[in-house]
Amino acid sequence: MANCRIRYSAGIAANFATVGIGEDTGGSIRGPAAANNLVGLRPTTQLVSRHGMLPARPSTDTLGPIARSVKDAAIVLDVLAGYDVNDPITAEAVGRMPMTYTQSLDPSALRGARIGVIRQPLDPKADPTSGEFLQVRAVIDRALADLRQLGAEIVDLTAIRDIDVRSARMYDENVYETEAATDAYLAKHPNAPVRSLRDIVLSGSVVPGRARTLIASLGHTTSEQGYLQLLLTKEELRQEVFGRMADQRLDAVAYATFDYPPLRIAADALTRKDVDLTGLGNNRRLSPVIGFPAIAVRAGFTSEGLPVGLELMARPFEEQLLFRLAYAYEQGTHHRKPPASTPATAPLPRR
């Protein structure tokens, strides 16, 4: 699935499509957007219906736009957002949405905004002394300088204890939701060629790297004590982030989507058991595990010409604020650059 999202994001970047709609459980909207020099929004989980979506982890599953511009992403969210009786959690969105997310896009919106920066890697395996990390950090530092020049007040987010280990662990250790959610989805589709997650894993059709992840979920349920502990730990971190933002009077939090440049997909990615399509430096998991919306925007390019994404995260249901800040940054920097390999688009024939 991650591979598919990278491909369709490349199609959007190359002007073969105007927008895309991605599924983001742990980062599959923001990651492809960052790697392809696009804009990608992970909305508040209760804002967009997941009806019809094959679930992975319902507590963090959501849908959102990938687009070439912040305005296009806002237009798509206008269509996606709102209450759907088929996904009861969206009832929480009632009364918490603007008439349109495009109504306040303002190129001067960064003036007076307070943005807290997470400078430490959120991937415990990242090496801040490596050359690739330093390449990306140079781009992010320039992006933060641009935010400041455009009127934002940039402050370091006060350190949160083990935020890297805790956010990664809360995502990786949630093996409790997938099997029951997948089986319930398949039960509603009697014509499906499989009846359960176990059938999928045993079919031999799943690439080894993905099968390894799915196998870990078999036999687990949300009734286990481990799931309760996961929820308690998750709420603890969520309240800490709320508290830091309140104490420092922050409108949003900024960090690199990835601390490393996009990696080349290994030639044997479909056969290896230990393949990691995201690579090192993955900072996308904080947003889903604490239930905050986040938007990835273009930050620029490394010295080797590879895209870098800057992520802005805000409190739940503050998508309009994220769009305002991201739009002002986009209009003040103009980092959009189509791939050099994109062929010229032929005009449509006249009829």
Task: State which amino acid sits at residue 257.
Answer: T
Q: Spell out the domains of the chain, with CATH numbers in brackets.
A: 2-177+222-333 (3.90.1300.10)
Alpha helices in the chain (DSSP H): 2-13, 30-35, 70-80, 131-149, 163-172, 178-187, 197-202, 208-215, 225-247, 286-290, 319-333
Element (H, E) at 156: strand 153-156
* Residues sharing a CB contact under 8 Å with residue 95, sequence separation 6 or more, in sequence order: none
Using the 8-state DSSP alphabet, how is residue 63 labeled? E
pLDDT at 268 (0 to 100): 73
pLDDT at 1 (0 to 100): 40
Query: Measuring CA to CA, which residue among 16, 19, 31 is closest to residue 67?
Result: 19
Question: Whose structure tokens read 């995260």?
Answer: 313
How many C-beta atoms surround the C-beta of residue 209 within 10 A? Answer: 18
How many C-beta atoms surround the C-beta of residue 103 within 10 A? Answer: 13
Question: Whose structure tokens read 């990278």?
Answer: 6
Phi-psi region of 276 (alpha: psi -120 to 50; beta: other; left: phi over 0): beta
Q: Is 340 helix (H, G, I), strand (E, B) or coil?
A: coil
Question: Whose structure tokens read 């599959």?
Answer: 28
With contact defined as beta carbons under 8 Å apart, do 19 and 57 qualify?
Answer: no
Query: Digits of tens for pLDDT over the chain (351 positions)?
Result: 444 455 568 889 888 889 999 999 999 999 999 999 999 999 999 999 999 999 999 999 999 999 999 999 999 999 999 999 999 999 999 999 999 999 989 999 999 999 999 999 999 999 999 999 999 999 999 999 999 999 999 999 999 999 999 999 999 999 999 999 999 999 999 999 999 999 999 998 998 888 888 999 999 999 999 999 999 999 999 999 999 999 999 999 999 999 999 987 777 767 776 656 667 899 999 999 999 999 999 999 999 999 999 999 999 999 999 999 999 999 999 999 877 777 666 665 666
Query: Measuring CA to CA, which residue among 106, 93, 197 is closest to residue 150?
Result: 106
Which tokens in the block code for residue 330?
Answer: 């986009």
pLDDT at 3 (0 to 100): 44
Query: Measuring CA to CA, which residue among 121, 125, 229 is closest to residue 173?
Result: 229
Using the 8-state DSSP alphabet, how is residue 1 labeled? -
Angstrom distance (rounded) from CA 150 to CA 146: 6
pLDDT at 320 (0 to 100): 98
